A = this chain, B = another copy of it.
Amino acid sequence: MTALQFPTAPRRRSIGARRSPDTERAVLTAARQLLAERGYSGFSVDEVARRANAGKPTIYRWYPTKADLFIAIYAEEKTAAVPTPDTGSLSGDLLAYTQSLWRFWRAHPAGRTVCALIAEAQASEAALGALRGKFLPERTLPVRLLFERAAARGEIAREEIETRLQLWIGFNWFRLLTADIDAEEALPATMRIIAAPHT
């Protein structure tokens, strides 16, 4: 009666009144792969559950919102993948960081995760909240530190940190959302403008 996907797959059982790390891993892995393979539109909790041999309610228990799931996926991926540079100048730092980031986005499906999260935020209030309240502050912290270091050096005005940071984020989003993160020629010039000292 029960149609096991892989007849030989040893059905994962409960390990008692505790979360099963196996299940958690299987879910995240399946979600990441699915997002990589089929993108935002092909992503569904049903399919994640199927691939992970997990129950839908289990997934919903941990990640009440798709956004939570996307964040969890991205949190795992980004870990220490993009180093924080120190070139001596803000423009150089931004350039190095952005190049690393884009290289990372190209190599891993992480970029798609960000796109998915942004798209999801257009559809769900909860996702928007998670994006603004949790994802953005955490993920842009390294870049913010670059700006703050520059401000400490007197390179830029302290009041402009937020504005310049948003310019940097916006530029990255634009290129990411239009699937245009391969061409890096314009990057140095762009970063110079973002980092330009006030005249």
Contact = CB atoms under 8 A, between A and B. Distances in A.
A196 interface: yes
A123 B66 CA distance: 15
A72 interface: no
Interface range for A: 35 or more
A181 interface: no
Contact of A167 (B41, B131, B160, B194): B194
A174 interface: yes
Given A1-B50, A40-B123, A199-B199, A190 B174 contact: no
26 contacts: A1-B50, A3-B3, A41-B124, A116-B122, A118-B118, A118-B119, A119-B123, A121-B178, A128-B179, A131-B178, A132-B178, A160-B193, A162-B186, A163-B189, A167-B170, A170-B170, A170-B172, A171-B171, A173-B173, A173-B174, A192-B198, A193-B193, A193-B194, A193-B198, A196-B198, A199-B199
